[in-house]
Amino acid sequence: MKLQMVDVVGQYRTIKSEVDQAVHAVLDSGQFIQGKDVGELECAVAGYLGVKYAVACASGTDALQIAMMALGIGPGDEVVTTPFTFVATAETIALLGAKPVYVDIEPRTYNIDPAAIARAITPRTKAIIPVHLYGQPADMDPIMEVSRSRGIPVIEDSAQAFGASYKGRKVCSFGAIGAVSFFPSKNLGCFGDGGMLVTDDVALGEQMRVIDALRACLPG
Ligand SMILES: Cc1ncc(COP(=O)(O)O)c(C=O)c1O
């Protein structure tokens, strides 16, 4: 018996008629960018995660980059994160001219060690990016405690953990911003690349929506 790592065609077949209907409705509407379905998905995701605002974007990588752009992160800044992640986490920090500062992981969960985060903070630290790896949430209580006590925002890299909960609360609802990926192999995959940014700060959400819309015209 052949087992595929991700059976995207098998998944599609189980809901084929619903998907086909939805895709054809979009094709018939002519709204190939944004449109009512995107707005409905943003509302559904925000409601599901228990946050106030969601912005759809092109990928999880874009979500991380836009999140850092909205927080004004750039050259000379440091972002504390884990080395045990997909390359996009550090790549987007470097792309903005900032420095990824790696701290160690916990031996039990392989997620970022909150005590190591506290030790890595310097006056240049502008954000902390924990990654909820393999669907397993990072230890958010001590991470948010460091964030609050040092006044440094957290961006949750939830690319691998859409729908996961930490102590009864959905990941993505703890930090200033949550970054989601809908890459086909992710827990909630789409047909192509896709991502979303979520936040409880409506002004920050609107800023991310503008950056997402204008990004093609911005340097970097
Ligand atoms: C932890 C992590 N962050 C970010 C990303 C980037 O997401 P995307 O592939 O949608 O750009 C991934 C994708 O594999 C990931 O696993």
Ligand 1 touching residue 156 (CB < 6 A): no
Give 100's strand partners.
79
What integer pLDDT is reported at residue 12 of this predicted model?
95
**Containing H/E element for 208?**
helix 202-214
Which residue in 88, 209, 199 sits closest to 79, CA to CA? 88
Which residues on adjacent β-strands are paired with residue 180?
Answer: 196
Mind listing the pLDDT tens digit of every residue in the chain (220 residues)? 888 888 999 999 999 999 999 999 999 999 998 889 999 999 999 999 999 999 999 999 999 999 999 999 999 999 999 999 999 999 999 999 999 999 999 999 999 999 999 999 999 999 999 999 999 999 999 999 999 999 999 999 999 999 999 999 999 999 999 999 999 999 999 999 999 999 999 999 999 999 999 876 655 5
Which residue among 112, 156, 160 is best mutated to probe the pocket of ligand 1, counting the most ligand atoms within 8 A of its Cβ?
160
Best CA proximity match to 40, nearest among 22, 64, 18: 22
What is the spatial distance between Cα 164 and Cα 134, in angstroms, rounded to a whole number?
Answer: 10
pTM equals 0.95
Q: What is the 3-state secondary structure (H, E, C) of 85-108?
A: CCCHHHHHHHHCCCEEEECCECCC
**Residue 217, pLDDT score:** 60
pLDDT at 118: 95
Q: Is the CB of 199 under 6 A from ligand 1?
A: no
Q: Give me the sheet containing 195-199, strands edge to edge.
A: 53-57, 195-199, 177-181, 155-157
Tell me what pLDDT residue 5 has: 84
Separation between Cα atoms, residue 120 and residue 198, nearest integer Å: 26
Nearest-5° angle of CA 85, CA 60, CA 182?
Answer: 110
User: What pLDDT is attached to residue 218?
Assistant: 59
86 lines ligand 1 (CB under 6 A): yes
The length of the chain is 220
Distance CA 198, CA 22 (A): 24
Out of 6, 61, 162, give the residue to mutate to test ligand 1, the one with the largest number of ligand atoms within 8 Å of its CB: 61
Q: Which residue is listed with tokens 């004004």?
A: 72
Q: What is the dihedral of CA 19, 23, 29, 32, to 10 degrees?
A: 130
